[in-house]
Protein backbone atom coordinates (compact mmCIF):
# COMPACT_ATOMS: atom_id res chain seq x y z
CA UNK A 1 0.00 0.00 0.00
CA UNK A 2 1.06 3.61 -0.53
CA UNK A 3 -0.37 7.09 -0.10
CA UNK A 4 -1.72 8.29 -3.48
CA UNK A 5 -2.98 11.85 -3.09
CA UNK A 6 -4.45 14.53 -0.87
CA UNK A 7 -7.62 16.24 -2.10
CA UNK A 8 -8.46 19.90 -1.54
CA UNK A 9 -11.66 21.63 -2.67
CA UNK A 10 -10.89 24.96 -4.30
CA UNK A 11 -13.07 27.91 -5.30
CA UNK A 12 -11.02 29.18 -8.25
CA UNK A 13 -9.31 26.29 -10.03
CA UNK A 14 -7.24 28.42 -12.40
CA UNK A 15 -5.86 30.56 -9.57
CA UNK A 16 -5.08 27.46 -7.51
CA UNK A 17 -3.34 25.66 -10.39
CA UNK A 18 -1.31 28.80 -11.08
CA UNK A 19 -0.26 28.98 -7.40
CA UNK A 20 0.84 25.35 -7.17
CA UNK A 21 2.73 25.52 -10.49
CA UNK A 22 4.24 29.02 -10.44
CA UNK A 23 4.75 29.53 -6.70
CA UNK A 24 5.42 26.00 -5.42
CA UNK A 25 6.95 24.53 -8.59
CA UNK A 26 4.60 21.57 -9.09
CA UNK A 27 3.55 20.23 -12.47
CA UNK A 28 -0.02 19.77 -13.69
CA UNK A 29 -0.19 16.01 -14.25
CA UNK A 30 -3.77 15.72 -15.49
CA UNK A 31 -7.04 17.58 -15.51
CA UNK A 32 -10.53 16.22 -16.21
CA UNK A 33 -13.87 18.01 -16.49
CA UNK A 34 -16.95 16.04 -15.40
CA UNK A 35 -19.67 18.06 -17.10
CA UNK A 36 -22.59 15.96 -15.88
CA UNK A 37 -21.42 16.30 -12.29
CA UNK A 38 -20.36 19.94 -12.78
CA UNK A 39 -16.87 19.52 -11.33
CA UNK A 40 -13.23 19.38 -12.44
CA UNK A 41 -10.35 17.38 -10.98
CA UNK A 42 -6.76 18.54 -11.42
CA UNK A 43 -3.79 16.51 -10.19
CA UNK A 44 -0.47 18.23 -9.47
CA UNK A 45 2.83 17.08 -8.06
CA UNK A 46 6.59 17.03 -8.15
CA UNK A 47 6.66 13.46 -9.46
CA UNK A 48 4.36 11.38 -11.64
CA UNK A 49 1.47 9.70 -9.87
CA UNK A 50 3.07 6.28 -10.35
CA UNK A 51 6.12 7.26 -8.29
CA UNK A 52 5.00 9.94 -5.84
CA UNK A 53 2.13 11.28 -3.78
CA UNK A 54 0.25 14.09 -5.53
CA UNK A 55 -2.28 16.80 -4.80
CA UNK A 56 -5.83 16.59 -6.17
CA UNK A 57 -7.66 19.89 -6.56
CA UNK A 58 -11.43 19.50 -6.83
CA UNK A 59 -13.41 22.39 -8.23
CA UNK A 60 -17.20 22.15 -7.92
CA UNK A 61 -18.38 24.58 -10.60
CA UNK A 62 -21.17 26.06 -8.52
CA UNK A 63 -19.09 26.72 -5.37
CA UNK A 64 -16.87 29.81 -5.17
CA UNK A 65 -15.58 29.45 -1.60
CA UNK A 66 -15.29 26.84 1.13
CA UNK A 67 -15.25 27.05 4.91
CA UNK A 68 -11.96 25.39 5.87
CA UNK A 69 -13.24 24.40 9.30
CA UNK A 70 -10.95 23.65 12.20
CA UNK A 71 -9.97 20.04 11.49
CA UNK A 72 -7.65 20.61 8.52
CA UNK A 73 -3.99 21.06 9.37
CA UNK A 74 -1.58 21.43 6.46
CA UNK A 75 0.34 19.82 3.63
CA UNK A 76 4.09 19.42 4.26
CA UNK A 77 6.84 19.87 1.66
CA UNK A 78 10.52 19.18 2.29
CA UNK A 79 12.95 21.75 0.91
CA UNK A 80 16.74 22.09 0.72
CA UNK A 81 16.69 25.84 1.44
CA UNK A 82 13.66 27.01 3.39
CA UNK A 83 14.78 30.67 3.45
CA UNK A 84 15.20 30.81 -0.33
CA UNK A 85 11.88 28.99 -0.81
CA UNK A 86 10.02 31.56 1.35
CA UNK A 87 11.68 34.42 -0.54
CA UNK A 88 10.62 32.80 -3.84
CA UNK A 89 7.01 32.48 -2.61
CA UNK A 90 6.92 36.17 -1.67
CA UNK A 91 8.57 37.23 -4.96
CA UNK A 92 5.90 35.31 -6.89
CA UNK A 93 3.05 36.97 -4.98
CA UNK A 94 2.49 34.17 -2.46
CA UNK A 95 1.84 34.67 1.23
CA UNK A 96 4.27 33.52 3.94
CA UNK A 97 2.27 33.27 7.17
CA UNK A 98 5.06 31.95 9.41
CA UNK A 99 8.66 32.85 8.75
CA UNK A 100 11.32 30.12 8.84
CA UNK A 101 12.50 29.16 12.29
CA UNK A 102 12.58 26.31 14.77
CA UNK A 103 9.29 24.62 15.53
CA UNK A 104 7.81 25.23 18.97
CA UNK A 105 9.38 22.86 21.51
CA UNK A 106 11.76 21.44 18.89
CA UNK A 107 14.66 22.16 16.59
CA UNK A 108 13.26 21.35 13.13
CA UNK A 109 13.24 24.47 10.93
CA UNK A 110 9.77 25.07 9.50
CA UNK A 111 7.77 27.82 7.76
CA UNK A 112 4.18 28.12 6.56
CA UNK A 113 2.71 29.60 3.40
CA UNK A 114 -0.93 29.89 2.36
CA UNK A 115 -2.56 29.06 -0.97
CA UNK A 116 -5.30 31.21 -2.58
CA UNK A 117 -8.05 29.34 -0.69
CA UNK A 118 -6.31 29.71 2.68
CA UNK A 119 -4.92 26.18 2.92
CA UNK A 120 -1.64 26.04 4.83
CA UNK A 121 1.49 24.48 3.36
CA UNK A 122 4.38 23.74 5.71
CA UNK A 123 7.94 23.86 4.44
CA UNK A 124 10.36 21.66 6.38
CA UNK A 125 14.12 22.20 6.06
CA UNK A 126 15.83 19.03 4.82
Catalytic (active-site) positions: 122
**Exposure of 120 in the CB half-sphere (CA atoms within 13 A):** 16
Cα dist from 83 to 80, 87, 125, whole Å: 9, 6, 9
CA–CA dist 91, 68 (Å, integer): 26
Amino acid sequence: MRLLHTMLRVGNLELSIQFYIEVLGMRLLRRTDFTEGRFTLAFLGYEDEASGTVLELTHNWDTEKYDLGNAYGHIAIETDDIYMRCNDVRAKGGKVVREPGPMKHGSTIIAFVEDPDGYKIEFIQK
